[in-house]
Amino acid sequence: MSWIHDFYSLLYPRICACCGTSLWRHEETLCDLCDHHLPKTNYHLELENPVSRIFWGRVELVTASAYLHFNKGNRAQKLIHQLKYKGRKDVGIRMGRDFGRLLKHSPFYDDVGVIIPVPLHKRKYMQRGYNQSELFADGLSRSMGIPVDARNMVRTRETSTQTRKSRFNRWENVADLFVLEEPDRLRNSHVLLVDDVITTGATLEAAAAAFRDVPGVRISFAAIAATRY
């Protein structure tokens, strides 16, 4: 019933997470214009792409990729800001769902068995009310048909923001930060570790370190966005 939809839209306006314009009925989270102009990387098509190269010599990976290029002021940054600080949970799910459709047809991800989001510390989770990486993982799961395990990996302590830290200081900030509650469940699995943004890669590198004693495990990374390299 269109009049009910119109009345509801007056009370709870649906706006684009990028530009703030009102959405048409067929649009979800993003207007068609912003969706068309998202700065997509297409890194999922290359095994040795710029995001994968960040981790060369640091983590033994199958591959790594990000959906969008992250630059100051661009649409990717606006989406991440809305997701992390403005309560736009739909952004995480939408980005995961869209990227998952691409990863599903990439040969590098065809045997992934489980998706694990990088966890927040309990205190930060309570403050925010959700984990943005878990929302992204949920969207990936919907498109790829792969389960999410958001309980196995635990963050052992709260860290200060990574913003404006040097590469070395970022690594110091997250060293020995993650542990697995049930590592045996991941034996011989291809695990897709996911985060919201990749900058230096320190957080995902620390998360991957939690798998070092898991026999036969293989790891790939995926993120909503990555700094352009």
Q: Degrees (nearest 5) of the Cα angle 161, 206, 153?
A: 95
Question: What is the share, in percent, of the chain residues with pLDDT greater than 70?
Answer: 86
**Under a CB-based contact definition with an 8 Å cutoff, are residues 189 and 220 in contact?**
no
Q: Helix 89-103 crosses helix 132-144 at what angle (to 10 degrees)?
A: 40
- Per-residue pLDDT reduced to its tens digit, 191-219: 999 999 999 999 999 999 999 999 999 99
- The pLDDT profile of the chain, 229 residues, written as one tens digit per residue, is 454 444 334 434 799 999 999 999 999 999 999 999 999 999 999 999 999 999 999 999 999 999 999 999 999 999 999 999 999 999 999 999 999 999 999 999 999 999 999 999 899 999 999 999 999 999 999 999 999 999 999 998 866 555 555 555 555 556 689 999 999 999 999 999 999 999 999 999 999 999 999 999 999 999 999 998 6
Is residue 50 within 8 A of residue 207, CB to CB? The reply is no
pLDDT single digits (tens) 63-89:
999 999 999 999 999 999 999 999 999
Integer CA distances (angstroms), 134 to 55, 57, 147, 217, in order: 22, 27, 12, 21
Q: What CATH fold (topology level) applies to the domain 39-227?
A: Rossmann fold (3.40.50)
The residues spanned by each domain of the chain are 1-37, 39-227
In whole angstroms, give the CA distance from residue 194 to residue 77: 17
